[in-house]
Structure 1
Amino acid sequence: MIECYREDMVERECDPEQGQRKPRQVLAGVRVLDIATFVAAPFCGTILSDFGAEVIKIEQPGGGDSLRKFGTITECGDSLVWLSEARNKKSITLDLKSPEGADILRKLVERSDVVLENFRPGTLEKWGIGFEALRKINPRLVMLRVSAYGQTGPMRNEPGFARIAHAFGGLSHLAGEADGPPVVPGSTSLADYISGMWGAIGVLLALRKVDVDGDGQSIDIGLYESVFRLLDEIAPAYAKYGTVRNRMGPDTVNVAPHSHYRTADDKWIALACTNDRMFGRLAVVMGRPELAGHPNFSTSKARSDRLAETNGIVSDWVSRLTLPDVLAACGAGGVPCGPVYTIADIFTDPQYLARNNFVEVEDDRIGPVTIPTALPRLSDTPARFRHTGRALGADTAEVLGQLLGIDADELTRLHDGGVL
């Protein structure tokens, strides 16, 4: 028997006549020290670990990362989000505030490539393990630094979470109905995940530079910046024309119809006509081909100027059809349209199933757990799943023993002294 891997990234045993030996993962050989908490910087580590990096999660002795208690708590005492997002990482405990703990970290840094952190700016410097101190130990070191407002500026020392980043970054103001309050834009952790993705991009760019000239560097990301960078034209539109975009519910600026509509069977569909050709196709599908040539509806600007009227025409048509009928009609007519799904809908959708967008894996403490499949999909060096988020300190002895040669007696002393 040899190992092979399905496209759903789960390790399997398979027959040697049918399976193939797995290729080396693209980040194999990269060692990452994840000393961060919650989601933002740690999600960068999740992405890197999915593609082969050895990610060592370093947690405070006793309680560990607060993410363990965030969300739905399972029978093992850790949350589902921990089991999913701490996957593939080794877990060790280490008190970085203690001199011995900081010294052990320095020794690990000598043997590592990347450090991920999201403490308030200045915290690691206070403990003697800031970037400038650590790069003297390892000039090739790459350090990702995620904080609420970044390492500089008048708010650098202020605390913050994703919800605050959504508000400060301009996203919350855009989310909600026009006459209602700003609302949560989907997930309260959105800015955290986005920052982790930007962080992964930064780490890979920095590692490329290390390959070129051998010099590491730090990567500075503020949570609010991760959100602000994605808000299309609101900055140039304000700077040039003084335009302040406000809440529009499910609608958007400059394009119509581009919204959500209720069907006859009380479902919702998302429909997008981003140019005049698409609206022409929709007009035919609705049985109103004359609309495409009417001066009130023939251009995006005309339709946007008459947003309520345009939406009313589409809403009236959709409201007389069931969801399957709307989808079929739009599909046949080449009009972009899709259902507004709940997670229950997602779990039965054939597209999700065909793409293996979620997969059931085995956790050694609680049994089967369903998690999202890793992205992106690489044809030759795909992501692989090795294990769910580990129990606190499960790999302390292995990591410190193998990397630093710390024996069992010393591990016991360090543990009894609160360092581990």
Structure 2
Amino acid sequence: MSDLLRGVRVLELATLLNGSTVGTLLGDLGADVIKIESPFLGDYIRDIGGSVSPHNSPSHIQANKHKRSLTLNLREERGRELFWRLHATADVFIDGNLVGVADRLGVGYEEQRRRKPGIVYCQYTGYGAQGPYASIPTHGMMMEALAGAQPTVVDADGAARVLPGPPVPPPIQRDLRSGGEATAAGAIHAAFHVAAALVQRDRTGEGAYIDVSAAAGVVANAWIAATFTMNDHLISDRADLPDPDVAGSDWVKYQFYAAADGKVVLFACIEHKFWDRFCAAAGRPDLIEHKDASLAADFAAGNVWLRQQLQDIIVKHDAAYWVDLAAREDIPIGPAPRTISEVAEDRQMRQLGIFHRAPDPTGNEWTYIGEPAIVAGQPYRVQRPAPGHGEHTDELLADLGVTASELARLKADGIV
């Protein structure tokens, strides 16, 4: 984590990955994130998708890092009284529930705003808090399906199935088909809108209500494909547009090539200056003339002969040779790891520090996914491992002035 949101307190009322992922990102930026859970059933992501130890699933360890856990029974008046005392110290409220749930508990946006006009309230759900689908509970693949990211066909026997994508090794394939992509896609937009709302609050004193849909987040992150598809009928000059039916498979200058060591590089010399530079550096100046000078970017689509020439050139050396050449000569050629392990071992990815080693809740050294942004002078760190259910209840209530005897009564009565 960095310290960019140091001093900002976030209350998170969420289970599973939607609201929890927003809190994770804000925690990555240094916010103090307090996860509010029912005393009877906490965030059951702890028990989904395998476990490292009891109630410590990989998803929980990643999605709930940095946070403290407080159990509060919001269905009881005494629980809500404690909530409002904590709320007075908060800057942000993350609501990962369907619209109306927090209202029925008596802690919805209007009541929060009445008590604290500067509160930044972010509702993050699969389908959004308005519209005909707002009341539908969702899981990740539902969010992707609404965004068209889970394309399906119906077989002759009437069974529906998801269209297979390109062959992907199991560690990556599992991630892409889990639905986690959607929750992460929307969470990014939720987090940066929260940060922007905090700037507005500091300027005007007014908070904000932010309604974020994970499905819409998937569309926003896939804006290139969505933009071209929705406006295809307005594009008059199609000279350098690829055939949508082949989608890059017959591109030559923007293509994957196997190197001598069996690893793969992605060749991307579509601008003429890069093509010329590559041909010279590779000792093949005779290939420079094989370009369409009328195009700003030449993909050389369908040029079978040229593709074979490039394959014959690339296969003469290991992948590292070509990547080093690219760095030295200013040429767009990059590595294309085929497994998550290869990604983690890549020298550039190691430098970026996206994979971060730190203790998990049981003290094991865990590989966390960190932040893609590097803040100068603020190296990434995990504030604390993901919490146990209600792990920090005693200390948080003590901070609110609750005495030991009062805490004992609250626990006995099922309030915390």
Counterpart-to-counterpart distance in 2, 1:68 and 1:191: 20
Residue type matched to 2:333 in 1? C
Root-mean-square deviation over aligned CA pairs: 3.3
Superimposed CA distance per residue, residues 105-135 of structure 1 (whole angstroms, 9 cap, x where no aligned partner): 2332222111111111222222222111211
Which one of the candidate residues 103, 109, 116 is aligned to 2:87? 109
Contact 1:297–1:303 (CA under 8 A) maintained in structure 2: no
Number of residue equivalences: 391
Query: Could you tell me which amino acid in structure 2 is paired with residue 408 of structure 1?
Result: A
Q: Which amino acid aligns with 1:167?
A: A
Find the counterpart in structure 1 of residue 255 from structure 2.
Answer: 259
2: CA distance between counterparts of 1:160 and 1:389?
24
**1:157-172 correspondence to structure 2 within 5 Å:** 157-172=135-150
1:223-372 mapped onto 2 (5 Å cutoff): 223-242=214-233, 251=248, 257-285=253-281, 287-294=283-290, 299=295, 303=299, 305-306=301-302, 311-341=307-337, 342-363=339-360, 365-372=362-369
The residue that corresponds to 2:29 in the other structure is 51
Change (3 A) 1:307 1:233: farther
- Aligned counterpart, 2:406: 410
State the 1:301 CA deviation.
Answer: 6.5
User: Which has the larger displacement, 382-391 or 194-203?
Assistant: 382-391
Equivalent pair of 1:144/1:219 in contact (CA under 8 Å): yes
Query: Residue 5 of structure 2 corresponds to which residue in structure 1?
Result: 27
Change (3 A) 1:395 1:352: same
Deviation at 1:304, TM superposition (A): 5.2
Q: 1:256 to 1:186 in 2, by over 3 A?
A: farther
2:214 matches 1:211:
no
TM-score with structure 2 setting the length: 0.81
Question: 1:389 — aligned with what?
Answer: 386
Return closer, same or farther for 1:303/1:309 CA change in 2, 3 Å cut-off. farther
SS at match of 2:51: coil
Cα distance, 1:142 vs. partner? 0.6
Q: Is the 8 A contact 1:296 1:306 kept in 2?
A: no
Match of 1:3 in 2: none
Q: CA deviation at 1:91?
A: 0.9
Q: Deviations over 1:14-42 (max 9, x none)?
A: xxxxxxxxxxx332321110111223332
What is the alpha-carbon distance in structure 2 between the residues aligned to residue 412 and residue 252 of structure 1?
66
Contact 1:92 1:395 in 2 (8 A): yes
TM-score w.r.t. the length of structure 1 is 0.80
Structure 2 gaps of 5+ residues are 153-162, 167-172, 236-241
Unmatched segments (≥5 aa) in structure 1 = 1-7, 10-24, 175-179
Which piece of structure 1 moves more, 379-388 or 51-60? 379-388
Q: Does 1:90 align with 2:54?
A: no
Alignment of 1:135-214 (within 5 A): 135-173=113-151, 181-182=164-165, 186=176, 188=178, 189-214=180-205
Partner AA of 1:376 in structure 2 = A
CA distance in 1, matches of 2:322, 2:246: 24
Note closer, same or farther for the CA distance 1:274–1:61 as it changes in structure 2 (3 Å cut).
Answer: farther
